[in-house]
């Protein structure tokens, strides 16, 4: 089962999506034409009068991948997974910053530091985080143009541990957290059951121990602290825990499982959830929210697989779901290229220059094309994003790899560059 096909009337107004079989029939009889390839959309050539069924757009925001689903009543008719490029944006900004600082230090060695001359406006988000919000909003807008969406449901929060442990918590106590007022040592005594983490001995003086030695870059965070008796602490010294417990893998696994997991992805979602919610409300549609716990409950109760787009379908209040598609559209943010006219090496010195002309033989880098080669060593049909050159020899990035040296004469555009790549 594939996704339903979007349909527009003769005035480019969205109608309810139809099944692929009906779409093929409309194309065969000449009553419709292909309007857009991704997502696949038809436009009717004849006027029709039909009653519209409301559709709910459901979103499960994620740090790396966001799930999107369209639900018509109890039927899931469309699914998509949007992969963000937040980490690549962060890497590009860090590279540009290092090159800029190096250049300034070389030319203005005694330049006065100016790290406090900028202020961020209220609600500012880092570019890598803002990108997540903007890409989701882009696809919400695109889907609203091809489907009669009447409401939006967003997973807003995962869970609130403090509320779960103490429903009455509020004010300053809630802001500071449940651990505020506890000494680190008392917290560690409770966490490690008042015994040595390495040998398990009890009823002996315990010392605060760094799991990853401070001498080798270990931090003072709670996640890097445990309790050890004097003998174990002395024997471990400044050894790495993997080396110290190389002959005791079970103990090593148990101790490392206590370490605090990375919260980078959770922090990214938490930083953007309210910005996304407020922007969605500006569309004028009814926006409802649900928790991650409710999403998981719905998915488990309905016995659905753990995927991003099915998680999105389970957001909010759900009684029953009938999944009518099993092939979500895979969307990956690829960017619109770079405006940098001069490429540099890793030291910041120029090594190449980019031409101002971006269109060659009617194509741009990033267009999705179909190339049917009829002669030469590369006979075959290739579909993918292209890399354009002024010489007319293009590269095509297909699902199986890159094919180089394809002449522009064999290429036919099927989807113009829009900053995304697609797959199924």
**Domain containing residue 366:** 342-419
Instruction: Please write the tens of the pLDDT for every residue from 135-148.
Output: 999 999 999 999 99
Counted domains in the chain: 3
Q: pTM for the complete prediction?
A: 0.73
pLDDT at 55 over 90: yes
pLDDT of 259: 63
pLDDT at 41 over 90: yes
The predicted model gives 89-97 an average pLDDT of 86
Residue 200 lies in a domain: yes
Domain stop point among 233, 258, 283: 258
Domain stop point among 236, 258, 280: 258
The predicted model gives 34-45 an average pLDDT of 91
Confidence class for position 309, pLDDT limits 50, 70, 90: very high
Coil/strand/helix, residue 149 = strand
Residue 39 lies in a domain: yes
pLDDT of 29: 93
Confidence class for position 113, pLDDT limits 50, 70, 90: low
| Residue 248: CATH number of its domain | 1.10.30.50
Q: What angle do CA 383, 389, 395 make, to 5 degrees?
A: 30
Cβ within 8 Å of residue 218, ≥6 positions away: 210, 211, 212, 224
Residue 22 lies in a domain: yes
Q: How far apart are CA 137 and CA 61, in angstroms?
A: 11
Residue, of 40 and 123, whose pLDDT is higher: 40
Instruction: Please write the tens of the pLDDT for every residue from 171-228.
Output: 555 445 544 544 567 667 767 888 888 888 888 888 888 888 888 888 877 778 888 9
Alpha-carbon torsion angle 397, 402, 408, 409, nearest 10: -110
Q: How far apart are CA 182 and CA 50, in angstroms?
A: 65
Sign of CA dihedral 69, 70, 73, 75: negative
Residue 53 lies in a domain: no
| Residue 414: CATH number of its domain | 2.30.30
Q: What secondary structure does DSSP assign to 400-416, as a single string?
A: TEEEEEEEGGGEEEEE-
Domain stop point among 228, 258, 288: 258
The predicted model gives 157-161 an average pLDDT of 55
Residue 128 lies in a domain: no
Sign of CA dihedral 402, 403, 407, 412: negative
């Amino acid at each position: 089962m594939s996704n339903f096909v979007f349909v527009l009337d003769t005035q480019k107004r969205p109608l309810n999506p139809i099944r692929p079989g009906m779409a093929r029939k409309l194309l065969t009889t000449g009553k419709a034409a292909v309007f857009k390839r991704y997502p696949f959309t038809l436009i009717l050539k004849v006027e029709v009068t039909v009653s519209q069924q409301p559709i709910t757009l459901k979103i499960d925001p994620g740090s790396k991948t966001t799930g999107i689903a369209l639900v018509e009543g109890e039927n899931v008719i469309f699914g998509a997974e949007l992969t963000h490029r937040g980490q690549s944006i962060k890497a590009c900004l860090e590279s540009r910053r290092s090159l800029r600082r190096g250049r300034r230090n070389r030319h203005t060695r005694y330049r006065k530091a100016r790290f406090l001359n900028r202020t961020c406006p209220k609600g500012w988000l880092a570019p890598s985080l803002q990108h997540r919000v903007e890409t989701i909003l882009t696809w919400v807008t695109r889907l609203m143009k091809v489907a009669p969406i009447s409401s939006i449901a967003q997973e807003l929060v995962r869970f609130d541990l403090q509320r779960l442990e103490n429903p009455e918590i509020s004010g300053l106590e809630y802001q500071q957290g449940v651990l505020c007022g506890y000494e680190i040592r008392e917290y560690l005594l409770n966490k490690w059951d008042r015994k040595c983490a390495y040998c398990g001995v009890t009823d002996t003086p315990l010392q605060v121990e760094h799991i990853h030695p401070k001498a080798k870059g270990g931090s003072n965070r709670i996640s890097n602290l445990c309790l050890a008796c004097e003998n174990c602490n002395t024997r471990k010294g400044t050894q790495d825990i993997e080396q110290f417990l190389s002959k005791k893998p079970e103990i090593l696994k148990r101790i490392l499982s206590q370490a605090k997991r990375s919260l980078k992805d959770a922090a990214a979602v938490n930083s953007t959830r309210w910005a996304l919610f407020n922007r969605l409300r500006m569309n004028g549609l009814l926006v409802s929210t649900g928790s991650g716990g409710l999403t998981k409950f719905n998915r488990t109760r309905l016995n659905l697989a753990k995927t991003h787009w099915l998680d999105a379908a389970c957001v909010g209040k759900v009684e029953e779901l009938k999944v009518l598609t099993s092939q979500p559209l895979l969307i990956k943010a690829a960017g619109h290229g770079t405006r940098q006219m001069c490429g540099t090496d890793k030291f910041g010195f120029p090594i190449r220059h980019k031409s101002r002309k971006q269109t060659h033989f009617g194509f741009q880098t990033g267009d999705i094309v179909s190339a049917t080669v009829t002669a030469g060593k590369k006979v075959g049909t290739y579909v993918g994003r292209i890399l354009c050159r002024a010489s007319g020899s293009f590269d095509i990035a297909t699902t199986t790899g890159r094919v180089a040296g394809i002449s522009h004469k064999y290429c036919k555009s099927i989807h113009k560059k829009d900053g995304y790549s697609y797959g199924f």
